[in-house]
Chain A
Amino acid sequence: MGEHGNGDPRDSGAVINAGDGESGQYAVDDPGLPPHRPRLADEDEKTAKRSERQVAVLFLVSIIGTVIFFIGYFVVGHTADLHEVRLQNTLLGLGVAFAMLGIGLGVVHWAKTLMPDHELVEARKPLRTEEQRQEAEQIVGDVLEESGIKRRPLIRNTLIGAAVLAPLPAVVLFRDLDLSEDFGPERMRHTIWDEGVRLVRDPTGTPVRAADLTVGSAMHIVPETLLDITDHGEKLAEKAKSVVLLIRMDPEEIQTVSEGREDWTYEGIIAASKVCTHVGCPVALYERHTHHLLCPCHQSTFDAANEFEVIFGPAGRPLPQLPIAVDDEGYLVARSDFTEPVGPSYWERGNA
């Protein structure tokens, strides 16, 4: 076994091994490797020939697989028909599968039936002997001594200082990952909702009259001013804060109206931020009979009849409510921006 057995592991004294099967340690002594049992193909040339043919057949299957791939690629060709895309994908997949499995199974079958299956034994070498360790220790000691780093603490200390500071620019350089002009958490307190901004449907952008909503229905709403933003990134960022779910319920069913919120609704029409206060998924499911809003991500459930208080799930706060009114032309408008930051809680949020 080449070099592997040369170091005598019993001689090193470098490593303590767990139980070694020393004689007398266990109830029976190590009987050694079981005798090798020859396979059929080891003794019978006809069986060996048959294995050889089987391996060759598997390699042929691989060749057929490659041909299937080319049929899928060239014969089906470019297509926009979804069924043909599926067919092509299946042919390519089956082709590659046959091509690979043919080779793989063939080689493994070859190894298992025709290559020698004797298990061999190799000695483990210790990672180091005590003698080698001492030699290495000597080298390290000499290197340190020659560098003089121990004798000259001034050099050592200034080097440590420099080495600690030097990587800092590499961290600072990433400061401009956020290039925005209004950098900082303050911007999270505001959305583009404002007094008089019309509620419009998402995605059509048409304004909403109170009469458009029947009792029990719900509508996805964005501020009309969102449509004026041309920059795609800015638009998405603003939309991510200002999406609103508008629902209409029987005014009788509204159970809680806290002080200062008396005029936030209009004839049973309530608007709430659609951004979950948990981690920010859209709270998109509304159940009209229970007035519950459910976030499909983590199942936080909010009760619209009680100012969107959390009745189930991991959300920590009620959904912020958008105060609404009706303008001169009869369209629904916001009375103001949200009175607290929307979306997931963050460190700087504080008492809002």
Chain B
Amino acid sequence: MSTHESDSTAAGAAAFQPETRTGRIADYVDQRVGGTNMVREFGRKIFPDHWTFMFGEVALYSFVILIISGIFLTFWFDPSMATVEYEGKYAPMNGMEMSAAYASALDISFDVRGGLFMRQIHHWAALVFVMAMSVHMLRVFFTGAFRKPRELNWVVGCALLILGLGAGFTGYSLPDEVLSGNGLRIIDGIMKALPVVGTYLSFFLFGGEFPGEAVIPRLYVLHILIIPGLILALVVVHLFMVVLHKHTQYPGPGRTERNVVGYPVGPVYAAKAGGFFFIVFGILALIAGTFQINALWNYGPYDPSPVQAGAQPDWYIGPFEGVLRMMPGWIGDIPLEFVIPTPWGGNTVATPVLVPLIPIAVLFAGMFLWPWIEAWISGDKRDHHILDRPRNAPARTAFGTATVTFYCILWGMGANDLIATHFHLSLNDITYWSRVLIFVGPVIAFILTKRICLALQRKDRDTVLHGHEAGVIEMKPHGEFTERHRRPNDYELYTLVAFESPEPSGPVPNAKGKVTRTEKLRARLNRWFYEDRVAPVSRREYLEALEHDHHDGHEDGGLEAREQQQIGSGHH
């Protein structure tokens, strides 16, 4: 077998004689790494095209820009908490004692040409990175792209989002000024609240009592090596799985579960996606050149005593900050914090810090588990490559917006002081209301979204059965006014009718013929998920509508002829 193979390779090589210099180089490489098959595999690989598929690309490209700008910054940044006397160009701080980390961050801003630009593009790219990941994730959620066989890639995506938050927070803390120092202080306080291990976690992170002299170099290693390394590895896994599964596509004429419709990598897709990298880079450069971010020379070196009013974390930390602000420490005269009496003097349960961690944990756990939760509720174990239009999955869409509402209330609460000062509202009132809103808001969002989805589905049915309003008002001989309707073409019709709308399925007995309690719960959730439904137009309804049109005869002849054909094709 192997002899035969090598023979054939030798024969093939002998037969092909490259004529140009490029050809010779390509052939040399090809014979050693097998470029032929890579080109055959990827050269014309098909990628579906839609503007919503762009967010993942934005995330990837901003990550590349983060690496490029981050590498630049490492050449000058000194991650040390050793005390130095500042001697840089920024006059107001001359001679001031500060950590080497802060001094070098100032040097990057003022003494290294282009350093300020690189710092700013790095920070802006980080904000865009997390934002693009979040929006990409919402796209995947609302279109059902996480369903089988892509559940594991969804999990990789969730892990990437958390790593992105970690990368952001560790980076934010590095310059060692007052703003980020207070951020670390909050992390220290949250850690200490954790039962049993919390205090020690804090000691080990800070190398002793907060703040110590160890935390910046440790965060630095996390920020420039471990977290980006993990992100890079997971990005590779993420993209590998995209290639393995092939991309999902929106429903539409010619698109089925068994094909991929789109543009080939070479040349169109590669040009568009490659060009898009430069566009993302350009836009980030434009922002970094014209909008100041994190002017750290205004804050001063970290000191445990001062703090700024109205200080804000980067946007993606907002919900974590908000949930802490929202939690009451006391209800009336009753403190929520309590001490468990023990022989060794009691252990403190810092409820006001621990309770806010619960919704955050539920949010993240739910995010990771959603593909399995939904598959369990729906009982749908099939492969899905065609995306859902969000309106055609009303319960999922409503659940998604409810979660987004929950997140956004927490996020807004992270800036409650700024909301109070900008809109001249009472800070306390905002906080009181938010405690109500956090429970009521998601419910309202769920109901509203579900109703909107169902209304849109009804509108789709209406369009299929009666056509679009043509904007032409006709007066009948007897004086009645009617609006002419224009039938959509087959391509549009197909998009509007080709979706599944499962009905609730009752509990199914297991192999022993018994309906278990879990199964009953599943059936109840299944009913909640599917009970409100607008069924897609059936073939019979559609044919009846055509028949009706025919009798009314308010369509022009050309369209009618085409519809006759449609009826004909429907009967085979």
Give CA–CA (A115, B245) in the complex, Å. 27
Chain A: residues with Cβ within 8 Å of the partner, total of 116
Give CA–CA (A79, B257) in the complex, Å. 61
Instruction: Please determine whether B208 and A122 come into contact, CB atoms closer than 8 angstroms.
Output: no
CB distance from A133 to the nearest CB of B (A): 14
Instruction: Please determine whether B268 and A315 come into contact, CB atoms closer than 8 angstroms.
Output: no
On chain B, the residues within 8 Å of A112 by CB distance are 272
Instruction: Please determine whether B268 and A18 come into contact, CB atoms closer than 8 angstroms.
Output: no
On chain B, the residues within 8 Å of A96 by CB distance are 117, 121, 281-282, 285, 289
Instruction: Please determine whether B279 and A108 come into contact, CB atoms closer than 8 angstroms.
Output: yes
Q: Which of A3, A23, A120 contacts B263 (CB 8 A)?
A: A120
Q: Which of A19, A88, A222, A296 contacts B310 (CB 8 A)?
A: A296
On chain B, the residues within 8 Å of A32 by CB distance are 253-254
Considering the complex, give the chain B residue whose CB is closest to the CB of A240: B304
**B-contact bits for A197-214, CB 8 A (1 contact / 0 none):** 000001100000000000
Instruction: Please determine whether B91 and A93 come into contact, CB atoms closer than 8 angstroms.
Output: no
> Is B358 in contact with chain A by the CB < 8 A criterion?
no
From residue 240 to 294 of chain B, which have CB atoms closer than 8 A to chain A?
Answer: 244-246, 253-254, 256-264, 267-268, 271-272, 274-283, 285-290
CB distance from A58 to the nearest CB of B (A): 10
Instruction: Please determine whether B497 and A28 come into contact, CB atoms closer than 8 angstroms.
Output: yes
Instruction: Please determine whether A24 and B278 come into contact, CB atoms closer than 8 angstroms.
Output: no
Give CA–CA (A12, B90) in the complex, Å. 70
Instruction: Please determine whether B330 and A310 come into contact, CB atoms closer than 8 angstroms.
Output: yes
Give CA–CA (A237, B49) in the complex, Å. 56
> Is B477 in contact with chain A by the CB < 8 A criterion?
no
Considering the complex, give the chain A residue whose CB is closest to the CB of B345: A350
> Is A192 in contact with chain B by the CB < 8 A criterion?
no
> Is B7 in contact with chain A by the CB < 8 A criterion?
no
> Is A317 in contact with chain B by the CB < 8 A criterion?
yes
From residue 226 to 242 of chain A, which have CB atoms closer than 8 A to chain B?
Answer: 232-233, 236-237, 239-241
Instruction: Please determine whether B83 and A232 come into contact, CB atoms closer than 8 angstroms.
Output: yes
Give CA–CA (A231, B452) in the complex, Å. 64
Considering the complex, give the chain A residue whose CB is closest to the CB of B84: A232
Instruction: Please determine whether A296 and B380 come into contact, CB atoms closer than 8 angstroms.
Output: no
CB distance from B545 to the nearest CB of A (A): 9
Give CA–CA (A203, B311) in the complex, Å. 22
Chain B, interface size category, equals: 35 or more
CB distance from B330 to the nearest CB of A (A): 6
- A33-B40 in contact given A316-B352, A343-B189 (Cβ < 8 Å): no
On chain A, the residues within 8 Å of B214 by CB distance are 177, 233
Q: Which of B82, B264, B305, B306 contacts A120 (CB 8 A)?
A: B264
**A-contact bits for B289-322, CB 8 A (1 contact / 0 none):** 1100000000000111111111100000000010
On chain B, the residues within 8 Å of A177 by CB distance are 203-205, 207, 214, 218
The winner among B210, B381, B416 for most chain A CB atoms within 10 A is B210
Residues of A within 8 A of B (CB): 1-4, 9-10, 15-21, 23-34, 73, 77-80, 85, 88-94, 96-108, 110-112, 115-117, 119-124, 127, 174, 177-180, 183, 185, 187-188, 202-203, 220, 222, 232-233, 236-237, 239-241, 243, 274-276, 278-282, 284-285, 296-300, 310, 312-317, 343-351
The 3 A-B pairs of least Cβ separation, nearest first, read A93-B289, A279-B189, A104-B278
Q: Return 23 A-B CB contacts under 8 Å, by A number.
A: A3-B40, A18-B383, A27-B497, A28-B497, A31-B491, A73-B114, A85-B109, A96-B281, A101-B286, A107-B274, A108-B272, A110-B275, A111-B272, A121-B46, A174-B204, A232-B83, A279-B188, A300-B329, A313-B328, A316-B351, A317-B335, A344-B192, A347-B192
Known: A29-B569, A94-B286, A119-B49. 7 other contacts (CB 8 A): A30-B498, A103-B278, A104-B275, A105-B278, A108-B272, A111-B271, A232-B81
